[in-house]
A and B are shown apart, each in its own frame.
Chain A
């Protein structure tokens, strides 16, 4: 698949077989007995008289568009890439590189688009089609009736047909090129005629593009002619005069002949047979070659008649009306309306042979511009707003005096003051020729928000009022008021906002707790209370729940007196001096490792003498006493002593006499501190 923004053009994509009914016969040979051949019928379907709308991807120019399409070839894009080659235009079964579809562009008045007609009548009589009776996709179709002259002038030659159709391969994701196709392969049929503007008359021209089926009628297509390099816009044949024919004349007159069609000059047939056709149609001698009279024109009584026999006219008209009435489809109505202007009964009036081509799709558009995009664009007068086109010197002044426009973009306009004085005021719209500052940032004279237009009326130094902003304010107010939904939305918005605020403020003044913050969701009250309670509990748990006991009390401080080395050495029974001495030589760690530790007694061999027992008893009593000191300070026996072993506790802060007193007590622990703090808080609050 090609990249986005790129596409590949192919000359054609040929199907394996053309459309039609095939018989598939499968035979089995080489068996000892005979097997009856199996026959399968295959129907290869393709559009023939109408193009299904889902096969049409796009058309150019767009249907019903008006624009300058004069230098572009109309085209139709079909989704199925093989569509233009699914039938053989020569009426054969084999495939052919010549497509059976051609896009023909006719101007208003050149041809006749029929109403819905049985498909058998949609082709020129005596045309031989392959499987005409069995292979038809619809019962009724449209056809284009054109005179031989017009065919010779505007239809493509047979050699043109292959060049006017190609296949395009695009990326399906490229919206600009594929615009919704499923596989990115598209068949494009081009027209061979430029839908030019009528430059001479300066008139727009309405064209209709018809996708026609040329099957079986290749011989009717024009032969190649020597080309020329210039062309002139004129209708190939102008039948629009038929619009002026009085259709109310009775059938008798028509049958008898000699209808007065006024001064209408019907188009002459090609080849200059009847260059100057007289005003009355009665003198036209030759009859239509397609007369259906069985005895031939000479023997038929109709030979003297100027028009088709009235019975024929009537029957076609009724058929058409009936066909249209049968189909209440809106699509058909639209197509009919688009075909209007291409409905002149050419067949009834044409003297020469009229050919019919089935129309698979048609749309009309109008070329309304002689100038091209490029020339118009380059002639556009470009400037900033406030630029007045210069009038040529000496040119007569226009009817109205030029407007009073100043460099700031203001324009002087008539203004009637409230007293009724006719004065002039300045006005400048929202479109200004230079960047401006916004609001108060400018001169600081504008209010942040104007409540009435008079607040933003200004008087400029020349004494005139500048009503620009006041006018903007007023038109804004009127535009707002003109839409009920806007007014109600505005009032609802303001009253909701104000209402929320007022209710909250009133609640806040009567309730002892903080109102929940405004959030986007509705507040669940129980949840709100729970969350609020947890918040309060966490903030001061000792107050809401009670003081918390520390996990562990800090231990009693160790009192060490003297040199730490000596204490350790004497406790372990080491000779400190010896260790130190050895440490100077081998390092203190090695010295300690080498030192001999005295062993008091070996395991299970304790010898207790009286002196030892006395010492141990003394030590035990000492420990007991110190433990009792902690438990019952009033039994204090050790004077002086500690300044409290609780690190960081409030006990060390001499805030009051009571605390100072507690601090004097020895061996207080964390629980004491908590109890004291709680008591103190209660004291403060009461």
Chain B
């Protein structure tokens, strides 16, 4: 037993302390699990990884990279964000021991922050996601869409599982739906969205503020002669009359307006016109049926490969169906074999 401490012992202890104690758990968060890095530091670094607070000119160094009315997709360069985090960690490293210790603990910090990235934006009721850091992608959008339609809905899917014009969405917890790590308006007209992974399809949808009622204004009409149309729906099912994308005389009516009044609908006349065209209307529309006709659903823009029918192909392959009798198949094959190899 040593009765005293020599300088050698002290230095040895310092060296071992700097190198071997990197995995001490300092943070035991009942909600967030055990971590080496304290929660506040971990969350700050994770927010930094998601580019919170990084000046915009570091993200887009030239205005030509993000012109007006444009949208730019990107991958996040992990080396860059790692350098960002290393910059923070370098604060206050003075001695060799500090740096040795930092080098030893850095892998633990990196793994902790990788995990914390996913917890920065966590919608209420969603499960906490765990996992190692993967690819982060996203897009920047600079458009009047961002300023004019606050609270745009952005959804990304790893597989194209939803029909483009489906009224519903896939639940946030669905495995095919990618988690949004960050969605923020950096400026009134600039939107930054980060996804956890590489999406196959991205949907951007008009904000859904409850159910809305309205008409379709004709964008081509001259300003002094504006017109509008309403598509008719089947009164029994609520489905719009096909075709879905175009306005024909069979599936839409012209909206009647009050003379000399700016944009005031002639409700009674509109009801009459709708009643004449809507299937199963019985010749007239009750107030609820009229409301059904006037329902408008948010517009959804889909970004992705238009030919990518991955989801459908997959399920078609799955559905194996016997179409000929086994004996027929056998004789056919035998006949083929005989012709090739008599």
Binding site for B on A (CB under 8 A): 5, 7, 9-12, 58, 60-62, 65-68, 70-73, 75, 77, 107, 153-154, 156-157, 159-160, 162-168, 176-177, 179, 188, 190, 192-196, 199-200, 222, 224-236, 368-369, 371-389, 402-403, 405, 411, 413, 427-439, 442, 446, 448-453, 456, 468-481, 483, 485-487, 489-494, 496-502, 504-506, 509-512, 518, 520
Contacts and interface: CB of A to CB of B under 8 A. Distances in A.
B90 A450 contact: yes
B324 to A, nearest CB: 42
A177 B209 CA distance: 9
B8 to A, nearest CB: 10
Contacts, number: 431
B265 A230 contact: no
Contact of B80 (A192, A449, A469): A469
A381 B65 contact: no
B21 A498 contact: yes
A480 B88 contact: yes
B84 A472 contact: yes
A493 B26 contact: yes
A425 to B, nearest CB: 11
Contact of B40 (A10, A489, A504): A489
Contact of A234 (B10, B212, B262, B268): B262
B79 A446 contact: yes
B261 interface: yes
B83 A196 contact: no
A497 B256 CA distance: 75
Contacts of B266: 224-225, 227
A86 B201 CA distance: 49
B91 A490 contact: yes
B78 interface: yes
A445 to B, nearest CB: 11
Given A107-B262, A381-B70, 11 more contacts: A7-B211, A160-B268, A163-B268, A402-B64, A431-B75, A438-B78, A442-B79, A477-B90, A489-B44, A490-B88, A494-B101
Contacts of B20: 501
A198 to B, nearest CB: 8
A403 B64 contact: yes
Contacts of A192: 264-265, 267
Interface of B: 1-3, 5, 9-10, 12-14, 16-18, 20-22, 24-26, 28, 34, 37-38, 40-41, 44, 48, 51, 53-55, 58-62, 64-67, 69-93, 97-99, 101-103, 105-106, 133, 135, 138, 140-141, 143-145, 147-150, 168, 198, 204, 206, 208-217, 219, 221, 223-228, 254-269, 271, 285-292, 294, 296, 299, 301, 303
A472 B265 contact: no
A374 B294 CA distance: 18
Nearest to A70: B217
B61 A413 contact: yes
Decide if the interface of chain B is mainly helix, strand, loop or mixed.
mixed
A195 B78 contact: no
23 contacts: A71-B216, A153-B258, A179-B210, A190-B291, A193-B263, A228-B257, A231-B263, A373-B145, A376-B145, A382-B72, A403-B65, A430-B77, A430-B81, A449-B103, A450-B83, A471-B58, A475-B87, A486-B88, A493-B41, A497-B26, A498-B97, A499-B17, A500-B17
A570 B276 CA distance: 123
- Grouping DSSP codes into helix (H, G, I), strand (E, B) and loop, the A interface class, with mixed when no group exceeds half, is mixed
Most chain A beta-carbon contacts within 10 A, residue among B133, B257, B266: B266
A411 B99 contact: no
Residue among A163, A229, A231, A385 facing the most chain B CB atoms (10 A cut-off): A231
Contact of B99 (A451, A456, A500): A451
A475 B55 contact: yes
A243 B216 CA distance: 35
B308 to A, nearest CB: 16
Nearest to B152: A373
A232 B223 contact: yes
B77 A60 contact: no
B303 A382 contact: yes
Contact of A510 (B2, B198, B204, B268): B2
Given A442-B79, A509-B5, A194 B265 contact: yes
B208 A472 contact: no
Contacts of B206: 373
A389 to B, nearest CB: 5
B268 A476 contact: no
B292 A9 contact: yes
Contacts of A448: 103, 106
B87 A480 contact: yes
